[in-house]
Amino acid sequence: MNLLLLLIIIFSILVLVRLANVAQLAAKLSDESEEEEQDNDNRMNGIGLMIFLWGGLILMVYMIFRYKAYMLPVSASEHGVQIDKLMNTNWVVLFIVFVITQVLLFSFAFKYRFNKERRAFFFHDNNKLEVIWTIIPTIVLAALITTGLSEWSNITDYAKRKEGLLIQVYGKQFDWTVRYAGKDNKLGESYFRRINDTNPLGVDSLDVNSNDDLTAREMYLPVGVPIELAINSRDVIHSVYLPHFRVQMNAVPGMTTRFSFKPTITTAKMREITGNPKFDYILLCNKICGVAHYNMNMKVVVVEPADFKEWLKSQKPLFENTVVAAAPATRTVSEKPNEKKIVALK
Amino acid sequence: MEVNQHSSEAHVTETDDHAHGHAHHDDHHDHVENFWTKYLFTTDHKMISKQFLVTAIGMAFIAMFMSLIFRLQLAWPDTKFPFLEGFLGKWAKDGVLDPGFYLALVTIHGTIMVFFVLTGGLSGTFSNLLIPLQVGARDMASGVLNMLSFWFFAVSSAVMLSSLFIETGPASAGWTVYPPLSALPQAIPGSGLGMTLWLISMVLFIASALLGGINYIATVLNLRTKGMSMTRLPLTIWAFLVTAILGVLSFPVLFAASLLLVMDRSFGTSFYLSDIFIDGAPLEHVGGSPVLFQHLFWFLGHPEVYIVLLPALGLASEVISTNARKPIFGYKAMIGSILVIAFLSFIVWGHHMFITGMNPFLGSVFVFTTLLIAIPSAVKVFNYITTLWRGNLQFTPQMLFAIGLVSFFISGGLTGIILGDSALDINVHDTYFVVAHFHIVMGSSAIFGMFAGVYHWFPKMYGRMMNKKLGYIHFWMTIVSVYGVFFPMHFLGLAGVPRRYYANTAYEGFSQLININQLITVFAILGGIAQFIFAFNFFYSIWRGKRATQNPWKSNTLEWTTPVEHLHGNWPGEIPEVHRWPYDYGKPGSKEDFIPQTIPYSETPESNTPDDLKH
Ligand code: HEM
Ligand SMILES: [Cu+2]
Ligand SMILES: [Cu+2]
C-alpha cells in the first residue's frame, strides 16, 4: 500500500514534469505571441469565474434545501425559539449581502477582463462612496446588535427567573452526573477533597440540604418547568451542550457556571415531530477534555411533570443512611458556604 | 554549486563597486561568500525571505497531511486504512487511528497552520522580501537580528516536529491549549513531554516573531528612501508595519500566558488550577482560574488572526491594483481601515469566551466591539470591488488568487457576524460552524494571499517565472476544494456537531450526517492533490522556469527597479528616489498604462493633474 502510494507520487511528478516541458515547448514553437496567449487565458479564466459564481450559488441553494432535513429540529426550549428566530433574521440579511457582494466581485472581474484597446478608469478616491459604505453597514450592524443583545440579556438574566428546578450537572473525564436538589430545591454543598468511591461528587453528607439530594446518570426534565443548571467539573474544562434546547455552558473546575431555560417539548412529542421513533435528546460534552471527549454524553429525557415526579421517586437519595437528626448541628455551619457555592446567583 | 559560487562572487564585486559609501555594507563585502554564509547564515533579507518561504511550504505540507489523515477518519470512521500504520506506527494499529492521536494531529495541524505557516511563513517571507525592496532600503535595519529571527523560527519548527516522535505523543489539548487539560499529564498523555516541547517551541517562536517584528518596524520607519513618505508607501508595507506592531504588542502576552502555564505544570503554582480531583486523588492546587488563561490566550489570539490576515490583504491590494491596471480604490481609506481593525482587534478577545461563565454583561461589551470590527472590514471589501470596477484585468494566477481571497473574506466575515452575536453563539460555539468560519476567513484568505504573493513575486525571488498554466490548474482546483470542504461544514455545525470529536458515532442523531463528511473529505483530497501541482511548479521553476524580465507585471513599485540577479544591497547604484504614490496605473494621458514611483512629475507633463502639482 505504501509502495503503491510512493509510486503514484513519483509517477505524477514525472507526468507533471512532462506537462510543464510540453507547455513550455508549445509556447515557444507556436507563433502565438505572449499577448495573444494572455488574451486567451483572460477569456478562459473570466468564463471560469462566471461559471464558478453561478454554479456555486446554485449548488449552495441546492445544499441548503437538501440538508435542511438534517438540521436541528424546532427548538425544545422557550428561549431557543427566540434564538432561532434571531438566527433566521440574521441569515436573511447576511445572505442578501453575500449574494450582492459575491455577484459584484465575480461579475466585475469577468466584465472588465483585459482588452488592450481599453484603459482602466482612473478612479482612485471618492469620499461620498466611502461614507455611504461605512454608514450602511453601521446601520445594519446596529440593528443586528440591538436585537441580539436584548435576546442575550433575556437569556442570561438569572435575576428574572424565580423558582427554577435546580439541577447540578457534574462533569468528569468522561461522563456526566446530574444531581437533583430534592424537595427543598437546595443542593448540599460539594467539595473536591471529599470525593471518594462512594461519593463521586464530593457532597457533604452532614449538610442538611444534601439529605434529599439524588443523583442520576440520565437527565430527566419536566416539561414547561423552568430549569436552572448549576454546572461543575472536577478535573478539566468540559462543556454542557444541549443542542436541541440551544443551551451551552462550560463546566469549569473551581467555579460554578449556570444556565436557565425552560423545556417545552417532551421526548415523546419530539419523536412525533421528527418522525423518528428512536429520537432522544442528548447532552454532549463540547469542550475538548481528553481522549474520550467524543464519547462523553448523557441521555436527556423530557417528560410531563407528573411522570417526572414518579421518576424522581424511583431514584435513590444520595445518603440513604444519613440520620436526619444530625442536621440541626451542622445547619448553621453549612448554610452559608453552600449558598455561596451552588445557589449564590439565585 | 561551482556555478553558483562563481556568480555570487561576481555579484559581490559588482556590489562593491557601486555600493560604496554605504557604511554598514563595506565590512562584509570584502570576503567571498561561501555556501554557509550565502544560504544558511545569511543576513541578506532576500535570502532570509526564501528561507522562510521554503520552511513554511515544508511545514504546510506536513500539516496538510495531518488534516487528510483525520479527514479520512471522520469520513470513514469504521474503515481500516492499513497504510496509516506505515506512517504512524503504534498510533494507527491495524489501520485504526488512535483517538488520542487524532487529537494530537488536530492540535499540531492547527498550531503549524496558524503560527508556522500563516504567521512565521507569511510575514517572514513577504515582510522580509518586500519591506527593504519597496521602501528603498539596502537591507533590514539589522541583518543579524533578521538572521536570528529565521533561526529561532527554524529551531522552533524542529522542536515542534520532534514532539511527533516521542513516546507519549505531541501536545493534544487543541491549538488553544486550555488548562487544566494542557497542564495535567494525568488528563491526557499529550500533556506530558509533548506539551513541554510545544511550550518550548512556542517560546522560541515568540522570540522569532519579536525579533522579526521590531526589525520590520524599524526598517519601515527609518530606512525609507528619499521621497518615500508614509502616504506613498504601498499598502503591502502599511499592512506589514501594522502587523508587526500587533505582533510586538500581543506576542509578549502569549509568552506570559505560557510562562504561567509552565509554572503550573512544573513548579507547583496555581495560576490556572483549582479544585481538581483527577486520577483518584485531589490535587494541591487551589485558587487559580482556568478562565484567566483564556483571557491571556485570546488577548494574543484575536490580534493573531489579524496578524495572519493583514499581510494577506496587503499583498492582495498590490496584486489587484497591478493586475487591474487601475489604482487601488480609496488608498487612504484602506490605511484607515487597517489602523482601525488593528486597534479594535485588541478589544474583542472576549467573543471567544461568551459561554465560559464570563459575566454576561462583559459578554455584551465584546459583542459590541466585535461587530464594530465588521465595519472597517466591509469598507475594505467594497474598496476591492470598486478597484475591479472598470479596470482592465489581467487574469494572472496571482490575480485569481487575490480575487479568491476577497471572496473568502466576504464569506467568512459574514459568518463571523453570527459568532460575534453572543445569543447566536450559544448554539454554534465550538461546533463545526466555527471551524468553517475561521478556515474560510483566516485560513483560506491568508493562504490565498500567500499564493498570490508567491506567484507575483516569484520572479523577484528566483529570477524566473512560474508556469502559468499550472498556476491556473492550481487555482481552480484549490478554490473549488476550499468551498467544497468548508461550505458544507456550516451545516454540520448548525446540526450541532461538536468540533474536536474523533468520531460522530456516539450519538445516533449524527449518523445521517456521514455523507456530508464524506463529501468534505473527497474535496479535501482534491485540494491536497492541487498543492502538489503547486509544489512541483514552485521547485521546477526555481531551476527550470522561464527567465524573468526586470518588471514582468509592469508594476510601479520600487522592487521592480532592482536587477533580476540578486545583489547584496539591492540596487547597483544609488537607491532610487521616489516621486509619486505607487498606484499610477491607467492614468489619463500617460504614455504607458503605468508610471513607476521613480518617475518624477517633471517627466510626465502629459498626465499630471492639478492635484499632482500641489505635492
Ligand atoms: C467580520 C469579522 C469577524 C467576526 C465578527 C468574527 C467573530 C468570531 C467569533 C465571535 C469567534 C468565536 C467563535 C465561537 O465563539 O465559537 C470567532 C472564531 C474564530 N475566528 Fe473570527 N471573526 C471575524 C473575522 C475573523 C478573521 C478575519 C479571522 C482570521 C483572520 C478570524 C479567525 C477566527 C478563528 C481562528 C476562530 C477560532 C477560534 C477557536 O479556536 O475557537 N475571524 N470569530
Ligand atoms: Cu468532556
Ligand atoms: Cu477573535
Instruction: Report whether pLDDT(B91) > 80.
Output: yes
DSSP state at residue B157: H
Q: B578: closest CA among B550, B595, B600, B594?
A: B600
Q: Check if A289 contacts B (Cβ < 8 Å).
A: yes
Q: What percent helix, strand, coil does chain B show, rounded to 5?
A: 70, 0, 30
Q: Are strands A175-180 and A257-261 parallel, antiparallel or unpaired?
A: unpaired
- Of all residues in chain B, the percent with pLDDT exceeding 70 is 94
Q: Which residues of B touch A244 (CB under 8 A)?
A: 496
pLDDT-based confidence at residue B30 (cuts at 50, 70, 90): very low
Pocket of ligand 1 (CB under 6 A): B 176, 305, 308-309, 351-352, 354, 370, 373-374, 377, 413, 416-417, 419-420, 425, 429-430, 434, 437-438, 441-442
Instruction: Report if residue B24 sits inside a domain.
Output: no
Q: Which residues of B touch A149 (CB under 8 A)?
A: 364, 367-368, 422-423
Nearest to A236 among B180, B355, B381 (CB): B180
Rg of chain B taking only CA atoms, in angstroms = 25
Mean of the pLDDT values across residues B378-398? 94
* Chain B closest-CA separation from residue A221 CA (Å): 19
Q: pLDDT tens digits, residue range A112-158?
A: 999 888 888 888 888 999 999 899 999 999 999 999 999 999 898 86
Cα B121 to Cα B111: distance, rounded to the nearest angstrom: 13
Q: How many CB atoms lie within 10 A of CB A88?
A: 10
Which amino acid is present at B600?
P
Instruction: Report if residue B26 sits inside a domain.
Output: no
DSSP codes of every residue in A277-303:
TT--EEEEE-S--STTGGG-EEEEEEE
Q: Which atom of ligand 1 is nearest to the CA of B309?
A: 30
DSSP codes of every residue in B376-432:
HHHHHHHHHHHHHTT--B---HHHHHHHHHHHHHHHHHHHHHHHHSHHHHHHHTTBH
Residue ranges near ligand 3 (ion) with Cβ within 5 Å: B 302
Which amino acid is present at A180?
Y
Q: Which of residues 111-150 of A touch B (CB under 8 A)?
A: 112-115, 118-126, 129-130, 133-134, 137-138, 141, 144-145, 148-149
pLDDT-based confidence at residue B42 (cuts at 50, 70, 90): confident
How high is the pLDDT of residue B1? 33
Q: Which atom of ligand 1 is nearest to the CA of B176?
A: 40
How high is the pLDDT of residue A11? 64
In angstroms, what is the span from residue B165 Cα to ligand 2's centroid? 27
The more confidently predicted of residues A344 and B469 is: B469
| Nearest protein Cα to ligand 1, atom 43 | B416
How high is the pLDDT of residue B350? 94
Mean of the pLDDT values across residues B111-120? 96
Instruction: Report if residue B605 sits inside a domain.
Output: no
Q: Are strands A257-261 and A247-251 parallel, antiparallel or unpaired?
A: unpaired
* Chain A closest-CA separation from residue B146 CA (Å): 35
Instruction: Report if residue B70 sits inside a domain.
Output: yes
Give the angle subtended at the CA of B151 by the CAs of B149 and B152, to the nearest 5°.
65
Question: pTM for this structure?
Answer: 0.90
Beta bridge partners of A251: A238
How high is the pLDDT of residue A7? 63
Rg of chain A taking only CA atoms, in angstroms = 31
Q: Which of B122, B429, B437 to mutate to test the pocket of ligand 1 (most atoms within 8 A of CB)?
A: B437
Cα B576 to Cα B224: distance, rounded to the nearest angstrom: 11
Give the angle subtended at the CA of B483 by the CAs of B482 and B489, to the nearest 5°.
100
Instruction: Report if residue B608 sits inside a domain.
Output: no
CATH code, B164: 1.20.210.10
How high is the pLDDT of residue B554? 94
The SS3 assignment for B76 reads coil
Q: A254: closest CA among A189, A191, A334, A177?
A: A191
- Say which ligand is closest to the CA of A173: 2
Mean of the pLDDT values across residues A304-308? 95
Q: pLDDT tens digits, residue range B280-299?
A: 899 999 999 999 999 999 99
Mean of the pLDDT values across residues A305-315? 90
Instruction: Report whether pLDDT(A336) > 50.
Output: no
Instruction: Report whether pLDDT(B594) > 90.
Output: yes
Q: Which residues of B touch A109 (CB under 8 A)?
A: 388, 393, 395, 403
Mean of the pLDDT values across residues A280-305? 95
Q: Do A120 and B585 touch (CB under 8 A)?
A: yes
Judge contact between A213 and A320, C-beta under 8 A. Answer: no
Burial class (CB in 10 A: 0-12, 13-18, 19+), B13: exposed
| Nearest protein Cα to ligand 1, atom 29 | B442
The SS3 assignment for B498 reads strand
Q: Which atom of ligand 1 is nearest to the CA of B409?
A: 27
Instruction: Report if residue B492 sits inside a domain.
Output: yes
Instruction: Report whether pLDDT(B366) > 80.
Output: yes
The domains found in chain A, sorted by start residue, are 36-115+127-156 (no CATH), 162-313 (2.60.40.420)
Instruction: Report if residue B33 sits inside a domain.
Output: no
DSSP state at residue B585: B
Q: What is the 3-state secondary structure (H, E, C) of A20-48?
A: HHHHHHHHHHCCCCHHHHHHHHHHHHHHH
C-alpha distances in Å from residue B520, one per residue of B26, B76, B78, B435: 56, 11, 17, 13
In angstroms, what is the span from residue A74 Cα to ligand 3's centroid? 30
How high is the pLDDT of residue A3? 55
How high is the pLDDT of residue A156? 87
CA atoms within a 13 Å half-sphere pointing along the CA-CB vector of B359: 3
Q: Which atom of ligand 1 is nearest to the CA of B420?
A: 10
Q: A23: closest CA among B237, B537, B326, B459?
A: B537
- Say which ligand is closest to the CA of B349: 3
Q: Which of B419, B428, B435 to mutate to test the pocket of ligand 1 (most atoms within 8 A of CB)?
A: B419
Residue range of the domain that includes B237: 2-17+42-276+283-583
Q: Which residues of A touch B275 (CB under 8 A)?
A: 191-192, 234, 253-254
Instruction: Report if residue B10 sits inside a domain.
Output: yes
Q: B140: closest CA among B158, B125, B121, B127?
A: B127
**Strands, E assignment, B441-499:** none
Helix axes A2-29, B514-544, angle to 10 degrees: 50
In angstroms, what is the span from residue A171 Cα to ligand 2's centroid? 7
Mean of the pLDDT values across residues B365-384? 94
Q: pLDDT tens digits, residue range B224-262?
A: 999 999 999 999 999 999 999 999 999 999 999 999 999
Q: Do A173 and B187 touch (CB under 8 A)?
A: yes
How high is the pLDDT of residue A344? 32
Which amino acid is present at A331?
R
Q: Give the H or E element holding residue B253.
A: helix B235-266
Q: Do B512 and A121 touch (CB under 8 A)?
A: no
Q: Do A253 and B180 touch (CB under 8 A)?
A: yes
Cα B105 to Cα B290: distance, rounded to the nearest angstrom: 24
How high is the pLDDT of residue A210? 84
Which grid coordinates belong to B243? Answer: 502587523
Judge contact between A282 and A299, C-beta under 8 A. Answer: yes
DSSP codes of every residue in B226-238:
TT--GGGS-HHHH
Tell how far CA B550 is from the center of its chain: 27
Instruction: Report whether pLDDT(B521) > 50.
Output: yes
Please give the tally of structural domains in chain B. Answer: 1
